[in-house]
Structure 1
């Protein structure tokens, strides 16, 4: 069967950076300037019309390749009414190979004979909002040449990188289905919150302007506030949350306290998530395109669009009640403290189930700690996870030399941060800071070192696993890998085969002299459109492998849940979000949890724990 390579150039009054691909393509002002295409190795053609040959190829189930394929798929659907396209995406393949996702960056990294037309891109940018029939003929020809070259570049990337493995293709298709489906958002709630926050911000601006005699006009003007504080005899080099709180506790001056409170309440307060939701929401009030397949080199999903992987942690526990107060026009200060804290807490409940539906949300419990223990052969720790023992109390008991229970909250917290933080080679200085950051616990450096030592002694298999991974990587780069090693070299990339059979890659890997004179690994990783150099070591490689395995556990669960007929909406970190008929959602929660606890053949023996709930609105 022939392969079709395709690319569209479009214009619209909608701004794709604001709306995202799905809302952009559905916008009534979005039009096609031209389409470029080629079958197999045939010459690339460009036209203002979509040829019947392409329609026939799609109708017959032919393969269609594009870079960032969701764009082409959505153009075909919304502008030409063509559904069920058998799409493939070279951007997804590039991400799978730990390369940048952008066409230009991949082409440059692969040193292709044909590169993206940068001058043509400039001309196209001039006409992002110009109706096609109003684009000057000379510019239209440049845009067509640009489109033709994009198809040539995409085709060369496909030839160089090939296909996704069959299992990954299945997972990518699920990713695309979740992106097409999207998640419902409460646009009324978002609009109300934007209005209330903007009103409150205006009052704060007036208050701080009056208090400082015009020296500061907004709570976000940190440099001006620092200068004003210096004039009051108060020296500080930053206005981070902790610094402001400490100053409030130390200083009695009422005027200074007023300014600091303005800063505390107004700094960092943004309505960006709400405005983004409104910009991206379709006519059905669903936001689509929230996930990026293989967004991290470990294979984990990254956020896109509304960035649901990066939501603020609010201070309000009953977020459903908070949303109801906003919608009813009632005061939120009693439940949240002020409107700013309330807005921060209301981002999650802005996302909700569709009409007549309910969300089923299930999270893998301590998945990385479980995977680490299993991979490292720490059988005692694995068994504790399997039997449901309190691992945090168990390790805290090791640290303090006494039985620690859940009632000993501070001591248990030391155990928790230790289990969750020390598995990748963290040292005493970092552990001391992490205890402060995660749990607001102040401990001495000596005590932090004691906890680190206890961890490495108690779980020596994990420490040995760091060295095993480090030695395997170094030996592969030296060409001295054992026949049964999971490490190997391929086209300049250092590769590691996971238990699942998937490969993670360290591009352009090489050996350098490490901190203590030992051989160390240096490699390139994608960062936006660039490839940047990074160093790695046993503990960091261990983190990559563990997170990659945890991702494959999640991917397995998504495949099983989809096969069982559940409607997948998104995955957020170690969490699955499903939309289900409200009348039966509660009874299906246990079934979803049961499916997610199932091991695939490669993960046999790994004790999986899950925790879930149902809700009409999303929450933590």
Structure 2
């Protein structure tokens, strides 16, 4: 046996979307209902475990054998569920702390990752449709999963039961078995269509690392979480009561009711988003402003992360499965799940440890006495709920200005690389070039640094005035009339980068037109099987499906390709040089992070956020920074640097 393609159907009383597969499968009532499999692309067999059939020993052995390739769509689900099932069935003495509890991810090939690598949809149904495979997912699938795989509401008609078993509808059960088998056949059809473009072996090595980090998880301070939720409930009720007294609304938490109240006061509003509310507060009368400020406090969304933590921890208080490999399939970057560590609020409280101690102790009285806004405190403390295991600390190491460094390296903007090499501040250096004067942080012409920073963040990928505004330029005190001159000044200071945008644009158009490969700056652009491949220096490729050159809305030429767009549908997407450069730079930044994590895979990495890794260790932060600052052979000439620190709980230093 060389390979096996498999798919399982399961039951658990836990909500899979809210809790994640690790908590879902740990539930005492979790069970595998059906297992369908194909050995070496042969006939699909189905095992009906719910009706007493047993999984063949050779299949169990193959699942445990890292030399046998296991294919599944979203393989993390199958691997984790089978890990719990095998341990519960054969090794009941094993606990989550056992390093061999989870099945070795080596040998598991996720067909969803394969699809993502080629920029295809990351659902079995959509991938099948786009690839036009004959075997499409059965439409009845969602209803059958809802019927057999989740608890049901007890009613008189169903005898008060809370779960549907096969005997409750034998016809549906037979269809469900066919659905399980059909999924494996669909997966094999997709594999056949993708076989001409295999995923490079080193990507599967990266996938193994990702799965190990997900299996390890990160410890959550549940005492802090529980008390944060209690404090939030009390504070929220208090704020709502105050809002109700001011507005006389039945439900002051209702967006529509608050909008109607504002309309009655002469304020017509389209949205109650944070940005819009803050803008209204500036000019609103005191009565209205007070209500709007209360609205902002009530609508704090960070508390949802505490709720996600409570729902998403295993019995050992570790949150697992927080990262989705190739979650951003355009660049291959990781995305987050449930707690979403990628969008945590920064902590700016100077007495962070003291505030944290008060929340952990549930001391609401002291919090209200010492801080203007309890919801703001809870929001800033969300990071600190992540803690190292006893006797360890977190080592946090973060790349410094990684995208700016990669962009400068690729474009050959020497003055920027010299700035990085000398350890100088890139925002000051940018402002110096833009305004032709010496700019020193907190010193000579220091007020210009902020303008340099705004331009630096907004303009690197072709951004103009709109990008400056989106980055908050106006909120930071810049004037509307300043923005276009700032954009022009940045571009004049970075001619190599501007030239690089349009070099990439011309190369891609030429490859699409002439269908001949072009090598440029360590990258290889080629067209194969109606797909544009941008070979990165790391050996990985970015893929754009069915590229074309078409006329844009302005009468010029633009590049389009098929992909998942802003509507979440499979559609034609328009792009151009600077946007391709953004994809390339972010993809290389991702490859640098993964390369660093692979070099440090003997250290217990528990999480990574953007360009930062978090290690549960007693080593020095300098060691991790040196490792992160090591330039891979494929990136010679790139100037890398990383900053780091140790902490008793996760925080931004």
Q: TM-score with structure 2 length normalisation?
A: 0.88
Match of residue 217 from structure 1: 251
Aligned to 1:25: 25
* Alpha-carbon contact 2:386-2:650 (below 8 Å) kept: yes
- Per-residue deviation at 1:396? 1.1
Tell me the secondary structure at the aligned position of residue 28 of structure 1: coil
Residues 199-227 of structure 1 show CA distances to partners (whole Å, capped at 9, x for unaligned) of 1111222222222223x522x43333333
Among 121, 125, 132, the residue aligned to 1:104: 125
Instruction: Tell whether 2:61 aligns with 1:56.
Output: yes
Q: 1:367 to 1:269 in 2, by over 3 A?
A: closer
Say whether the 8 Å CA contact 2:166–2:173 is kept in structure 1: no
Of 475, 480, 492, which aligns to 1:444? 480
Q: Is 1:84 the equivalent of 2:104? A: yes
Q: Equivalences for 1:369-408 in 2 at 5 Å?
A: 369-407=404-442, 408=445
SS in structure 2 of the partner of residue 436 of structure 1: coil
Question: Does 54-63 or 238-247 show the bigger shift?
Answer: 238-247
Question: How many angstroms apart in 1 are the aligned matches of 2:137 and 2:568?
Answer: 13
State the distance in 2 between where 1:237 and 1:120 align: 39
Q: In structure 1, what is the Cα distance between the partners aligned to 2:46 and 2:613?
A: 42
Displacement of 1:431 in angstroms is 2.3
1:10–1:32 contact (8 Å) kept in structure 2 = yes
User: Following TM superposition, by how much is the alpha carbon of 1:569 offset from its aligned partner in structure 2, in angstroms?
Assistant: 1.2
Equivalences for residues 279-290 of structure 1 within 5 A: 279-290=311-322
For residue 20 of structure 2, give the secondary structure of its aligned residue in structure 1: helix
C-alpha displacement of 1:497: 1.0
Q: Give CA-to-partner distance per residue, 1:483-536, whole Å, 9 cap, x none.
A: 546211122221111121211011222111134433211112235973233211
Q: Matches of 2:568 and 2:280 in 1, distance apart?
A: 41
Distance 1:335 1:552 in 2: 44
Q: 1:33 to 1:131 in 2, by over 3 A?
A: farther
Deviation of 1:242 (Å): 4.6
User: What's the counterpart of residue 357 of structure 2?
Assistant: 324
Distance 1:21 1:135, change over 3 A: farther
Q: Measure, in 2, the Cα distance between the counterparts of 1:482 and 1:73.
A: 39
Q: C-alpha separation between the residues in 2 aligned to 1:433 and 1:114?
A: 44
Match in the other structure for 2:471: 434
How much does 1:317 deviate?
A: 4.3
Matched, 1:610 2:642: yes
Look up the match of 1:536: 575
Q: What is the CA-CA distance between 1:115 and the residue it aligns to?
A: 1.0
Cα 1:72–1:415 change in 2 (3 A) is same
Cα distance, 1:31–1:482 mapped onto 2, change above 3 Å: closer
Q: Displacement, 1:307?
A: 1.4
Shift of 1:433: 5.0
- What do the CA deviations read for 1:535-563 (whole angstroms, capped 9, x no partner)? 1111111111111111111111011111x
In 1, are the aligned partners of 2:631 and 2:638 still within 8 Å (CA)?
yes
Superposed, which structure 2 residues align to 1:153-172 within 5 Å? 153-162=186-195, 163-172=198-207
What residue in structure 2 maps to residue 16 of structure 1?
A: 16
When residues 135 and 491 of structure 1 are mapped into structure 2, their CA distance, relative to the original with a 3 A threshold, is: farther
The two structures have a TM-score, normalised by structure 1, of 0.93
When structure 1 is superposed on structure 2, of 237-246 and 539-548 the one drifting more is: 237-246
Q: Distance in 2 between matches of 1:336 and 1:313?
A: 17
**Any conservation in 2 of the 1:520–1:536 contact (CA below 8 Å)?**
yes
- Measured in 2, the distance between the counterparts of 1:46 and 1:23 equals 26
How far did 1:41 drift?
2.4
1:467 is aligned to 502
Q: What residue number does 1:337 align with?
A: 372
Give the stretch that moved more between structures: 126-135 or 167-176. Answer: 126-135
CA distance in 2, matches of 1:148, 1:243: 51
Q: 1:617 to 1:131 in 2, by over 3 A?
A: farther
- Corresponding residue for 1:501? 539
Matched, 1:70 2:76: yes
C-alpha spacing 1:611/1:248, structure 2 compared with 1 (3 Å): same
Following TM superposition, by how much is the alpha carbon of 1:160 offset from its aligned partner in structure 2, in angstroms? 2.2
Superposed, 1:121-520 pairs within 5 Å as: 121-129=142-150, 130=163, 132=165, 135-162=168-195, 163-214=198-249, 217-218=251-252, 220-253=253-286, 255-269=287-301, 271-296=303-328, 297-330=330-363, 331-333=366-368, 336-407=371-442, 408-436=445-473, 440-445=476-481, 447-481=482-516, 483-484=518-519, 486-520=524-558
Distance 1:450 1:336 in 2: 41
SS at match of 1:295: strand
Cα 1:450/1:292, change in 2 over 3 Å: same
Distance change in 2, residues 1:33/1:175 (3 Å):
same
Supply the RMSD in Å over aligned alpha carbons.
2.2
Q: 1:559 aligns with which of 591, 598, 611?
A: 598
Secondary structure in 2 matching 1:138: helix
How many angstroms does 1:351 deviate by? 1.3
- State the number of aligned residues: 608
Distance of 1:149 and 1:432 partners within structure 2: 50
Q: Alignment partner of 1:148: what SS? A: helix
Unaligned runs of 5+ in 1: none
Instruction: Mark the CA change 1:475 to 1:13 in structure 2 (over 3 Å): closer, same or farther.
Output: same
Q: Is the 1:367–1:550 Cα contact (8 Å) retained in structure 2?
A: yes
CA contact (8 A) 2:11 2:30 kept: yes
| Cα distance in structure 2, aligned partners of 1:247 and 1:550 | 39
Residue 429 of structure 1 deviates from its aligned partner by 4.1
Cα drift, residue 59 of structure 1: 4.4
Shift in Å, 1:354? 1.8
Cα pair 2:546 2:562 within 8 Å, conserved:
yes
